[in-house]
Amino acid sequence: MSDPDLDDLAAELSEFAKPEKSVGRSPIEERIIAGFEEIQRFVTENARSPQHGEDRDIFERLYAVRLERLRTLPDCRALLALMDHQGLLSSTTLVEEPSDAIDVYRLAAELGGEAGLNDITVLRHVRTGAEKRAAEEIATHAPCTDFERFQPLFDEVKTGLKEKRWQTKPFGKDASIEVGDFFILAGQIAYVAEMGDTYRTPNSETNGRLRVIYSNGTESDLLLRSLQRALYKDSEGNAGRRLVKVDDGPLFSDVASDDDHESGTIYVVRSKSELPIVSEHRDVLHKIGVTGRSNVAARFSSARDDATFLLADVEIVATYDLYNINRVKLENLIHRVFDPARLDIEIKDRFGKPVVPREWFLVPLFVVDEAVKRIVDGSIVEYVYDPKLVRLVKG
């Protein structure tokens, strides 16, 4: 059998080959192609073209604007025709931008600090590494599958506002965000239901992933700093507000009623580290914190890899269930009470970077028990731990 003619075979296969990239493209053409590839990736991941609308995130809206302009410029259509395997340049499926929507170009300028986005030859928002990190902060709303758990909370706030048991305050006067906080954002009541592990940004600000529930039955998973920025921007129109009780009532209840929403657990653990300072004080050295996880043990599953846990497994020695409590505020209160007995230690993490764990205290368990009881009756605010007397004293 004779070998097939290679020229004929190449001709048959040529229609399946990816078009070769032309050489000698100008920087403008390269940016246009890179921007179009971003749109194509969005379509592949979402099975639809990017759309306008205030409910869309900033990058989708930028892609929608960019695609519209690519469609209207013949030179761009000619440049991209061979790579348009999704038929995006000939499609007309974009949803019209509402007349009262926020201007996409202004949003893009705020995001990137650049102007001139109306020029298709300057695709400034082809995402760099920094922009991909920014995209990580942008969250979309999704249906809240367990909204029935939170509905009573929203009902209480709405009723409380009518009866003046709740009030609104401008967000800018207090920019803190903690679990249990309520806000008004874009016309909806927003409730911060959960907060993941926090970390420090390069400019030393605290950040962390939040679960935010909205009064319309949706939720979003976004970063704390993103929510702060959204509330600041909303405040410009006097809409971003904080909702607070006129009288917060008792801090803590140790009894759960049918209407209570369990908020978390105080945990007390001991380290199994063989560090000399740990071995010497193991019976009284405790890490004290608050977690929202129903499975407390899961909080410590990777302790041996975490410098805040002294790079060692831990033993749970006590837990206290919480109801109707702001976990972050309670944890801050506990740490304030035991601050005189805070362990002063610095260790290196797995990557050799120094870490100063802040939640380890040289305090006996019976004193922690007393502190929890005083939290229940509200008297804890009057006390602080005295390491010399080994007991709580009025501060």
pLDDT digits (tens, 9 = 90+) for 113-149: 433 444 544 444 444 444 444 444 445 678 888 888 8
pLDDT mean over 317-334 = 82
Burial class (CB in 10 A: 0-12, 13-18, 19+), 392: buried
Q: Which of 114, 137, 160 is the last residue of a domain?
A: 137
User: Does 343 share its domain with 367?
Assistant: yes
Q: Tell me how many domains the chain contains.
A: 3
Q: Is 102's pLDDT higher than 80?
A: no
- What pLDDT is stored for residue 253 in this prediction? 45
User: Does 97 share its domain with 220?
Assistant: no
Q: Which residues of 196-213 are buried (b: 16+ CB within 10 A; e: fewer)?
A: eeeeeeeeeeeeebbbbb
Q: Which of 120, 137, 154 is the last residue of a domain?
A: 137
User: Does 266 share its domain with 378?
Assistant: yes
Q: Which of 5-14, 87-96, 255-264 has the lowest mean pLDDT?
A: 255-264
Q: What percent of the chain has pLDDT over 70?
A: 73
User: Does 379 share its domain with 364?
Assistant: yes
Model confidence at 96, in pLDDT bands (50, 70, 90)?
very low
Averaging pLDDT over each range in 277-291, 312-326, 372-386, which range is the top one? 277-291
Q: Which of 74, 107, 137 is the last residue of a domain?
A: 137
Q: How far apart are CA 168 and CA 70, in angstroms?
A: 46
- 83 vs 296, which has greater pLDDT? 83
pLDDT digits (tens, 9 = 90+) for 176-194: 788 888 998 877 899 998 8
User: Does 268 share its domain with 390?
Assistant: yes
Does the global pTM surpass 0.75? no
Q: Is residue 307 part of a domain?
A: yes
Q: Is 347's pLDDT higher than 90?
A: no
What CA–CA distances, in Å, run from 177 to 34, 270, 312, 326? 38, 30, 31, 11
For 307, the domain range is 262-394
User: Does 266 share its domain with 291?
Assistant: yes
User: Does 183 share its domain with 287?
Assistant: no
pLDDT mean over 330-358 = 86
User: Does 148 share its domain with 131?
Assistant: no
Closest C-alpha to 80, from 165, 153, 19: 19
Q: How far apart are CA 281 and CA 276, in angstroms?
A: 9
User: Does 240 share its domain with 300?
Assistant: no
Query: What's the gap between Cα 291 and its chain centre?
Result: 17
